[in-house]
Amino acid sequence: MSFKFKDDNFWMNKLTSEQFQVTRKGGTESPFTGKYLDNKDEGLYSCICCGEILFDSRKKYNSNSGWPSFTEPYDDAAIKSLEDRSYFMVRTEVKCDICDAHLGHVFPDGPGKNGLRYCINSASLNFIKKK
């Protein structure tokens, strides 16, 4: 199923209003409010829109930014990065490569081997707890 070409009506019927605003309209949730910010369970984070696996909980850390943060994606091919010049800033936006959902942003100040911090909205994620 091709998710990239679904219209707003499809997504409005599939997502909550917050999930729609974040993933389809490039919004953001308020800092320190996301349901996965303090999640410490082991498992995988998938795209709320299409189900693609995006992040592994073993790469999640507390960046004190107000959003769930990861040092790297589960698979580089699942994520694409684009220049974002909104709000009078230059940032790198992160999107799901399968469905084009806005996930958050990536910054070059992380603790991992690549020095990256994937700052991701909880509203764009679903958590699959390890059994």
Q: What is the pLDDT of residues 9-37, one digit of tens each?
A: 999 999 999 999 999 999 999 999 999 99
Q: What is the mean pLDDT of the chain?
A: 92
Contact yes or no for 77/52 (Cβ under 8 A) = no
Cβ density class 1-10: b for 16+ within 10 Å, e for less: eebeebeeee
Count of CB atoms situated within 10 Å of the CB of 89: 8
Kindly list the catalytic residues.
Answer: 119
Q: What is the pLDDT of residues 67-113, one digit of tens each?
A: 999 999 999 999 999 877 776 667 799 999 999 999 999 999 999 88
For residues 72 and 90, give the distance between their C-alpha atoms in angstroms, rounded to a whole number.
Answer: 21
For the chain, domains (ranges, CATH) are: 8-129 (2.170.150.20)
